[in-house]
Structure 1
Amino acid sequence: MNQPVPRTAVPDSPPSWLRRRLAPEQPRGLRLTLAAVAGLLMLPSTGLAVLVLTGWPPLRDLDVRVTDALHAYALTNPGWVRLTSLWTDVFAPNPLRVGALFLVLWLVRRGARRLAAWVTVTMVGGGLLGPLLKLVVGRDRPDLLDPVSSAAGYAFPSGHALNATLAAGVLLVVFLPATGGRPGRRAALWAAAVALAAGTGLSRIVLGVHWTSDVLAGWLLGAAVVTATVAGFALWRHRPTAPPT
């Protein structure tokens, strides 16, 4: 008499759009391209750091002119200051990290553990680069006679711009596959990501707590980190694994 074959529990599989994101194959050329792009994005941010350290006059003059112009506008438009202050508080590094934590927990529950690990490494690793570079460069923040806002610590690079760019990259990588290729949804997601990174960085210049080059370096560094971690996790995802026991 045939005995029934015992069945083992099979965990719920990730939703279809997450399975597409975690597909086992990806062109090798794409991974190499991502790694090259990450390296290229690191060059401008590194170059900006060198120019700041050496006090390159054209960059210093540009920073001063932009800061003076925006500060003069802010002094005569208190409503603009309140709006940018609210934006910079809502999308500050700590609220973005809390949002990333909830996203990681949601991905783990969905069975997308590697994608959750990528989000963690991107936000934590990229976020730690900011304070490290601040200590290395040691650049002072703008010293204005009648400031509309204040911030502690060194200026270069902007931590707000860096973390907002990391969050924007996470938003795109995680949720673009969920749009199903629909142009309207993709455009809305891209608009939200660009607004997050651009608006947060610009708010720091408007409030007079960062130079323009600080924010630009934060954007470039954030984009480089996202690109590098995407390439790195693509390689990790396809590494040979041991046979099942």
Structure 2
Amino acid sequence: MQTPPVDSPPRPPQPRTALHVTWVLTLCSALLLVLVAAEWRPLIGLDEDVSSTTHRWAVDEPGITHAMRILTDWVWDTWTMRLLCAVAVVWLWWRKGDRWTAVWLAAACVLGSLLQQGLKAAVGRARPVWPDPVDSAHYAAFPSGHSMTAAFVCGLLLWLLHHYGATRGPRRTALAAALVSVAGVGVTRVWLGVHWTTDVVGGWLLGALVVSLAVLAHRRLRPRPAGTLDPGGGADTSRSPGARESR
């Protein structure tokens, strides 16, 4: 009698793949940062063309513009995203008892926000200026704080769902919500005339980079019980009592 096949659990992403993704995101983010800081004319011209078109639409469609302001100020605001992160930290600390991951998540969100503010100050890019603005914003333009915060908060929360073995249904729902949120907040910032398109793209790239670096840090730095598998697939014996004597 033939034994029915048993589905094996999905294999985690290989560390080298994660490292390659991190390098690609780093290079893309750095390239865009350099082009924006150098005010590369083809890129600046593209930004101006897109912003002029979307601003004209925003002025001509006040109803849509009002909806965009509600979404960007309340639904996808940076503080709304940080509140989601704080709720996840509390859940990890008290409900899951995973205090190391709770601290890791809080640190990743704080460091992501600091990186965003530091780059804004370093690049010092001016925001679009209009004779008939439909909204206003402060501080420098690059990268978009709304886009970057949404990208790394949603990315980290999606990774946590995968890490804790959430079923396919909740994961798909969360992924759809994350994609709508990250893409949607970028659209609102350009539509309202407070960011250039490359500010938004830069925010997405840098947010994804924060997620990638944070996941690598979690895999490499989190303490593991003796005898568990390390990220490379081998047994971690570094904490076993006889590890030092056997060397």
TM class, shorter-length: 0.7 to 0.9
Q: Does 1:187 align with 2:172?
A: yes
CA-CA distance at 1:43 after TM superposition: 1.2
Matched, 1:50 2:34: yes
> Which residue of 2 is the match for residue 223 of structure 1?
208
TM-fit CA distance, 1:97: 1.2
Give unpaired runs (5+ residues) of structure 2.
1-8, 225-237, 242-247
- What SS does the corresponding residue of 2:14 show, helix, strand or coil? helix
Tell me, in whole angstroms, the C-alpha distance in 2 between the residues paired with 1:180 and 1:100: 18
Tell me the CA shift for residue 186 of structure 1: 2.9
TM (norm. structure 2) is 0.82
Deviation at 1:181, TM superposition (A): 4.0
Measured in 1, the distance between the counterparts of 2:97 and 2:39 equals: 50
* Greater Cα offset, 32-41 or 149-158: 32-41
The reply on whether 1:86 has 2:70 as its aligned counterpart is yes
2:110 maps to 1:131: no
Structure 1 position 185, deviation (Å): 3.3
Equivalent in the alignment of 1:196: 181
Q: 1:231 to 1:117 in 2, by over 3 A?
A: same
Quick one: structure 1 residues 83 and 179, their matched pair in 2 at CA, closer, same or farther if it must change by over 3 Å? farther
Q: Deviations over 1:32-74 (max 9, x none)?
A: 3212211210211111111112111110111001101111111
The 8 Å contact of residues 158 and 171 in structure 2, kept in 1 or not, is answered as no
1:203 corresponds to which letter in structure 2? T
Matched, 1:60 2:48: no
| Structure 1 residue corresponding to 2:60, chosen from 61, 76, 94 | 76
- Counterpart check, 1:171 vs 2:154: no
| Residue 174 of structure 1: how far off its partner (Å) | 1.7
Contact kept in structure 2, 1:179 and 1:186, CA below 8 Å: no
Q: CA deviation at 1:177?
A: 5.2
Give how far 1:176 is off: 3.5
Q: Is the 8 A contact 1:67 1:208 kept in 2?
A: yes
Q: TM-score, normalization: structure 1?
A: 0.82
Q: Which has the higher contact order (CA 8 A, sep 6+)?
A: 1
User: CA separation of 1:193/1:66 partners in 2, compared to 1, >3 Å: closer, same or farther?
Assistant: same
Which shows bigger deviation, 186-195 or 227-236?
A: 186-195
Residues 78-114 of structure 1 deviation map (CA, whole Å, 9 limit, x = unaligned): 1111111111112211221122112101110121222
Cα–Cα, structure 1 residues 135 and 83, in superposed 2: closer, same or farther, change >3 Å?
A: same
CA contact (8 A) 1:51 1:59 kept: yes
User: Post-superposition, which runs of at least 4 consecutive aligned residues in structure 1 deviate over 3 A?
Assistant: 176-181, 238-243
Structure 2 match to 1:14: none
RMSD: 2.0
Read off the aligned partner of 2:61 and give its amino acid letter.
Answer: N
Q: 1:178 and 1:192 mapped to 2: Cα distance? A: 19
Q: 1:98 to 1:61 in 2, by over 3 A?
A: same
Q: Which consecutive residues of structure 1, in runs of 5 or more, have no partner in the other structure?
A: 1-19, 21-25
Q: Distance in 2 between matches of 1:207 and 1:119?
A: 31
Q: CA deviation at 1:205?
A: 0.5
- Distance, in Å, in 2 between the alignment partners of 1:93 and 1:241 is 41
User: How far is the alpha carbon of 1:241 from its aligned partner?
Assistant: 4.3
Contact 1:164 1:197 in 2 (8 A): yes
Report if aligned partners of 1:141, 1:155 keep a CA contact under 8 Å in 2. yes
Query: What is the percent sequence identity of the aligned residues?
Result: 40
Higher helix share: 1
One-letter code aligned to 2:135: S
